[in-house]
Amino acid sequence: MVTPRELKKLAKEHGTPLFVVDHDQLRKNYATFKKYLPRVQAYYAVKANSDPAIVKTLYEAGCSFDVASMPEFEIVHRYIKDMPDKERQDWIWDKIIYANPIKANEALQQLNQYKPLVTYDNYEEIRKIKKHAPQAGLALRLKVPNTGAMVELSSKFGAAPGEAVDLIFAADKAGLTVEGLSFHVGSQTTNFGNYAAAINLAANVFKEAQDRGYTKMFLLDIGGGFPAPYDDSVRPFRELAKVINRELDRLFPKKIQILAEPGRFLVATAATAVSKIIGKAVRDGKLCYYINDGVYHTFSGVIFDHCQYHLKSFKRGPTQVCSVFGPTCDALDVVSLVEQLPPDLKLGDFLYSENIGAYSHASSTWFNGFPPAKVVHINL
């Protein structure tokens, strides 16, 4: 992981706000995922951070990709088109999944030529896929418990277990092939029981489909939600993997392919943000720092991802509770109301925030005319 000394040097060299991506950490996170879930093929959720250099590093490490829009698809596709002929010939299009259950007709029309694997969870989507992407393979997304997840998803997506097999047969009747099932237990899931419950639910749907005569399914996509170690309250990944491996081995024979869509777990700890103090004031007796990054930029996860990122100073010494605000004139631009920082920081001093690689820079805007942070890649 990049050291504070290296961060400070990069900030002086490149200016701030700065977003530093450590590719050694990316490779380490992917290796950890494969070590503890050897049966599972990882499809990186590009939405977590769509920087093409991150896609490249993970592809070279052996990763596949989960995309949820055509722009994300094109990020992966552009990289593949630029490969040498031999590498491009080795690419298999079933190593990419379009995992947004609700797709625009235009996206389906563009996808059809690639014979993609796509998810669905309702009858209307079957009709759309049949009309606009009849060459696609399907994975039915199930509604599963999201208890304890930082971001709940089952209220928006997922077929009820009771209608799952009917949806499989409806797709089959339309001339489409349902290749398997998928689910998502919610983002940053620290309740490991969610995975056990979801895998058991999926196994029951597999069995019901087989009992009713549908035998074409050969894959299970266990989705994302793998928690990043933001703090000590998050149990080690190996403990979650033990739960998942036990249930997979108990309920799904080896012939069933297992997919997953890790996003946050792969990229969160691989990036650090560095910002500069541009203002300082005392309001109602509380020290306030203003920095040149905020919730419309790298700290967008405070709003969109329900995530709290902590800031650190490069200076040592006593600290006190402070507020930290972003640079825009919007009162929403609050990075944190409770940060422990030295009271003697000056304008021009740097702050940094670790573990900010996921759902952060990917959501940056140009609101108020302030540009997103500059991205610097190290250890490529």
Bridge partners (DSSP) listed for residue 184 = none
Task: Report d(CA 58, CA 60) in Å as an integer.
Answer: 5
DSSP state string for 113-168 = GG--EEEE-SHHHHHHHHHH-TT-EEEEEEP---TTEEE--TTTS-B-HHHHHHHH
H or E stretch at 352: strand 350-353
Cβ atoms within 10 Å, residue 60: 12
Pairing of strands 257-260, 271-283: unpaired
Q: How far lies 131's CA from each of 124, 127, 175, in Å?
A: 11, 6, 11
Give SS3 for 217: coil
329 annotated active-site: yes
From the list 63, 288, 307, 329, the catalytic residue is 329
Q: What is the token pair recorded at 175?
A: 């001339």
Cβ atoms of 53 and 271 within 8 Å: the answer is no
Residues 6+ apart with CB under 8 A from 25: 1, 269, 270, 379
Task: Report d(CA 371, CA 298) in Å as an integer.
Answer: 10
Task: Report d(CA 9, CA 15) in Å as an integer.
Answer: 10
Q: Give me the amino acid identity at 70.
A: M
Count of helix runs (H) and strand runs (E) in the chain: 12, 18
Cβ atoms of 19 and 282 within 8 Å: the answer is no
Task: Report d(CA 306, CA 315) in Å as an integer.
Answer: 28
Helical residues (DSSP H) of 37-99, grouped into ranges: 52-61, 70-81, 85-90
- Positions annotated as catalytic residues are 329
